[in-house]
Amino acid sequence: MARNTTVKADPNAPAITEMLAKFVVSHPSNGWSEAVDMEAHRTFANWVGCAIGPSTHETMQAALAGVMELAPSQQASILGRKEKVDMANAAFLNGVSSHTFDFDDTHLKTIIHPAGPVASAVLALGEHLNISGRELIDALVLGIEVSCRVGNAVYPDHYDRGWHITGSTGMLGSAAACARLLKLDAAATQMALGIAASQPIGLREQFGTMTKPFHPGGAAKAGLMSALLAKHGFTASKRALEAPRGLMQVFSDKTDWSEITDNLGQSWEIALNTYKPFACGIVIHPSIDGCVQLRNQHSLKAADIASVTIRVHSLVLELTGKKTPGTGLESKFSVYHSCAVGLLYGQAGEHEYTDEVVNRAEVTALRARVNAIVDDSIDEASADITIRTTDGQEHHIFIEHAIGSTQKPMSEVQLKAKFVDQSAPIIGAAKADEAWRLARDIARQTGLKALLAAAC
């Protein structure tokens, strides 16, 4: 059995785990600009709406039924529902819910959906600890900083090899945020990060199944439990992230340590967060945006359209290349379906990704006329679209940045409309309005009770 055990490893990595722990423990409350704090509130409020929306979806019914087998205690709330469960499973369930419609926030540099793992854990633990809204936002900003910086350091290699980076870095953000809420010292926070480092969750192979939203939920729970264990003296490697056999070198060939060490505490990843106008993977958004714009500019009807040709980066088809999706869930991974509904209905919200719409005759007929061409000279955040009409005209548009991107952010009005669209069918219009107001202004709230009363 003798063999060569040489696997590449950099033994000279800086002490990332310790550095992040000290940062999370010591950074002052609200120690960032007003613009950053505003984006943190937009992140939180958008996440609350995204968790309420799917709270009665079959994914949540299955997840809740599985959790209920444990006869959990009633420590923390599930957004959009009446049941309570223990805080670890509340973190899990809210994390699952918030990603079920693929409608949550996106850190475009890494394609991480940062709120899911962190906000889910913060809300559950925070409810149990009876924290203030300010503490919630602080923990959210710091936790997201940890997971997104680790993501920056390993992206794209880590993602390319098949990890769903939201879950596989999210447990670190969750652990960091929970350690902050538990007021652990730097040494215990370092242990919390270390315990979490052994639990990366998520494979891209699961896209199109319920296990995709399992990932942020699982990461939220893993991070929360790691912090609870560290609170009681459970130990881990002090170099769990950066050691030659630590997480980052194990799950990525790229490890750019400067992405973590540079400007820590000065620049903020949450400031780069974006919110989806369309209920599907972010790489489809430029194509939908282009289709909707061409539709509106030229008053196109489906019957007028002879063919649609989209030129996109190869990643778009790798992630969303399902030509003939059979279910609503599968259709979220179909750029073809997404273009068809964008052209037909001028939008691509959750209602355009149901089983019924996927199999509607006018949708399948138009979908069949959408063609995709791979062109890696086009950025993965862009799309080039040409529509030929039955009367021989040709309409073209190039989308450099889609609506909802950092360059073209959603407005406050759009963000609130998205929140209400998702949550009103679940909790009613009045509570939806109230929940938006409270979530969007949570740092001024002395506690979380009013928000939870409105949102559950």
User: Which residues inside 162-201 make contact with a copy of itself, applying CB under 8 A?
Assistant: 162-164, 167, 194-195, 197-201
- Exposure of 434 by Cβ count < 10 A (0-12 exposed, 13-18 middle, 19+ buried)? middle
Q: Which of 34, 69, 356, 391 binds a copy of itself (CB under 8 A)?
A: 69
Measured from the CB atom, is 75 or 261 closer to a copy of itself?
75
**Min dist. Cβ of residue 16 to a copy of itself (A):** 13
DSSP 353: G
Beta bridge partners of 373: 311
Overall size of the chain counted in residues: 456
Measured from the CB atom, is 315 or 410 closer to a copy of itself?
315
Q: What is the tally of helices (H) and strands (E) in the chain?
A: 21, 8
Measured from the CB atom, is 111 or 115 closer to a copy of itself?
111
* 65 touching a copy of itself, by CB under 8 A: yes
DSSP 411: P
Measured from the CB atom, is 24 or 182 closer to a copy of itself?
182
* 72 touching a copy of itself, by CB under 8 A: yes
**Min dist. Cβ of residue 364 to a copy of itself (A):** 23
Report the half-sphere exposure of 163 (CA within 13 A, side-chain side).
25
Written as one string, the DSSP assignment of 179-232 is: HHHTT--HHHHHHHHHHHHT----BGGGTTSTHHHHHHHHHHHHHHHHHHHHHT
Within 249-268, which residues bind a copy of itself (CB under 8 A)?
249-251
Measured from the CB atom, is 231 or 437 closer to a copy of itself?
231
Beta bridge partners of 98: none
Nearest partner of 245 among 2, 4, 3, 7, judged by Cα? 7
Within 293-312, which residues bind a copy of itself (CB under 8 A)?
none
Site string for a copy of itself, 75-94 (x = CB under 8 A): x----------xxx------
| 114, 107 contact by CB (below 8 A) | yes
Q: Select the span of 226-234, 289-297, 339-347, 394-402 touching a copy of itself (CB under 8 A).
A: 226-234
| 179, 25 contact by CB (below 8 A) | yes
Site string for a copy of itself, 20-59 (x = CB under 8 A): --------------------------------------xx
Nearest partner of 79 among 436, 427, 440, 444, judged by Cα? 427
Nearest partner of 173 among 113, 245, 118, judged by Cα? 118
| 313, 379 contact by CB (below 8 A) | yes
* 353 touching a copy of itself, by CB under 8 A: no
Measured from the CB atom, is 172 or 228 closer to a copy of itself?
228
Q: Which of 98, 106, 169, 211 binds a copy of itself (CB under 8 A)?
A: 211
Q: Select the span of 27-35, 43-51, 247-255, 404-412 touching a copy of itself (CB under 8 A).
A: 247-255
Measured from the CB atom, is 14 or 428 closer to a copy of itself?
14
Nearest partner of 177 among 237, 97, 117, judged by Cα? 117
Q: Select the span of 222-230, 268-276, 387-395, 441-449 touching a copy of itself (CB under 8 A).
A: 222-230
**Min dist. Cβ of residue 159 to a copy of itself (A):** 9
How many amino acids of this chain bind a copy of itself (CB under 8 A)? 81
Measured from the CB atom, is 154 or 424 closer to a copy of itself?
154
For helices 34-52 and 115-129, the axis angle rounded to 10 degrees is 90
